[in-house]
Amino acid sequence: MLRYTARRLLAAIPVLFVVSLVSFAIIALVPGDIASEMAGPSATAEELARLRAELGLDKPILERMVEWYGALLRGDLGQSVLLRRSVTEAILERLPVTLGLTVLALAVAIVLGVLAGMVAAVRPNTWTDQGVMALALVGLSLPDFWLGLVFIWLFAIELGWLPTGGYVPFTEDPLGWLRAMAMPAGALALTQMGLLARMTRASMLEVLRQDYVRTARAKGLPGWVVVGRHAWANVLVPVITVAGVSVGILLGGAVVIEQVFSLPGVGRLIIGAIQRRDYPVIQGGLLLTATIFVLVNLVVDLLYAAVDPRVRYGR
């Protein structure tokens, strides 16, 4: 297992290299730069040229790329032009917000999605099944940013239960953190909840038709033991696969949701950097997102072995 993990981590290096290379090239080819943004509309061409030189934007793209990779090998993601501070610091400061949001949304999506899928599967073709699946389809079809705005209207303005936005660190006030995160995490989770419910239902129905389940029932085991102990374990593999993909989707969705709920996360940092062409922050943010995605995929693969004894790595 250790050898497999090490091999997968090594294999991630070229993936991350390609991600950084492509993002660097695309960003460098897009017209406009931070000098234009900083100088304002009335700046002369000479003022712009001077500012570009000060910021090192007049250097050839290859030279800038070599400098960036050189610093990266030393663990340095560079300096944000706009924030005037280290990109690593800026990202690490905002990472707990985005990770907290993603993890909470994933937890809600998995718990409620899987539960809904199982309820639908044990009562196939009934009103319960059709009702749950219809709700799952609605959840899948609604855009998260729209849901976010509806949640603000309902839970903040009409009911006054939750704040409209903003962030409270978990370490300062855990309840305040939960109140601040409830709506954004809920809006993010609903789409994935629908996906997980449908996937769980389909997998569970297939498993419930297996011979070993029939045998368990024939032995006289109660229904909840058949489902909860014998069938459930075999449903886990596809659920883990979907949950792994969901992490990537949730991270992407967090970018928009952070804007709607004014959460100071990595997504909002990247959006701001794109709008202002703050290249080091864009590069660092994209590299971080890709790294998280690669690591999550690795964890998913390792979890396969944990839940399914037939899967063994490193042999």
Partner 1 sequence: MRLARFDDYTQNTNFQARDGFGGRKTAYFDTVTIRFVPEAGARTAGLQTGELHVLEALAVPAARRLREDRNIRIYEMMPWAFQTLMLNHAQGPTANLAFRRALQAALDMEEIMAISTDGLFRLTHGWQHPGTTYFAGDVGKELYNLKDANRARALLRETNYRNEEFIILTDSSFSNHKAAGEVAAEQLKAVGINVRLNVVDWPTAFNQRTRREGWHMWVLMFGIEPYEGPFNVVGFLSGERPIQHVPDPVIEDANRRLNTSLAEADRKQAVADFQRRMYDQAIAIKCGDVGIVQATRANIVNYKPYRIPRMWDCWFA
* Stretch of 153-161, 197-205, 224-232, 289-297 contacting partner 1, by CB under 8 A: 153-161
Contact 191, 146 (CB under 8 A): no
Cβ proximity to partner 1, 52 vs 201, nearer residue = 52
Which of 70, 124, 143, 166 touches partner 1 by CB under 8 A? 166
Cβ proximity to partner 1, 17 vs 146, nearer residue = 146
* Stretch of 10-18, 36-44, 126-134, 289-297 contacting partner 1, by CB under 8 A: 36-44
Q: Which two tokens stand for residue 166?
A: 């903003």
- Distance of alpha carbon 121 from alpha carbon 135, whole angstroms: 14
42 binds partner 1 (CB under 8 A): yes
* Stretch of 37-45, 132-140, 189-197, 219-227 contacting partner 1, by CB under 8 A: 37-45
Cβ proximity to partner 1, 46 vs 172, nearer residue = 46
94 binds partner 1 (CB under 8 A): no
Which of 25, 26, 149, 306 touches partner 1 by CB under 8 A? 149
Cβ proximity to partner 1, 94 vs 230, nearer residue = 94
* Stretch of 119-127, 155-163, 187-195, 298-306 contacting partner 1, by CB under 8 A: 155-163
Q: Which of residues 226-285 bind partner 1 (CB under 8 A)?
A: 259-262, 268, 275-277
Which of 2, 14, 29, 31 touches partner 1 by CB under 8 A? 31
153 binds partner 1 (CB under 8 A): yes
Q: What are phi and psi of 103, to 5 degrees?
A: -65, -40
144 binds partner 1 (CB under 8 A): no
Contact 281, 87 (CB under 8 A): yes
Which of 14, 41, 75, 220 touches partner 1 by CB under 8 A? 41
> What are the CA-CA distances from residue 171 to residues 100, 104, 264 (Å)?
12, 16, 16
User: 102: how many CB neighbours lie within 10 A of its CB?
Assistant: 26
Which of 135, 156, 202, 307 touches partner 1 by CB under 8 A? 156
C-beta of 179: minimal distance to partner 1 in Å? 12
Cβ proximity to partner 1, 82 vs 240, nearer residue = 82
62 binds partner 1 (CB under 8 A): no
Which of 2, 10, 29, 45 touches partner 1 by CB under 8 A? 45
Cβ proximity to partner 1, 29 vs 73, nearer residue = 29
Q: Where does this chain bind partner 1 (CB under 8 A)?
A: 30-34, 36-37, 41-42, 44-46, 48, 149, 152-153, 156-157, 160, 163-166, 259-262, 268, 275-277
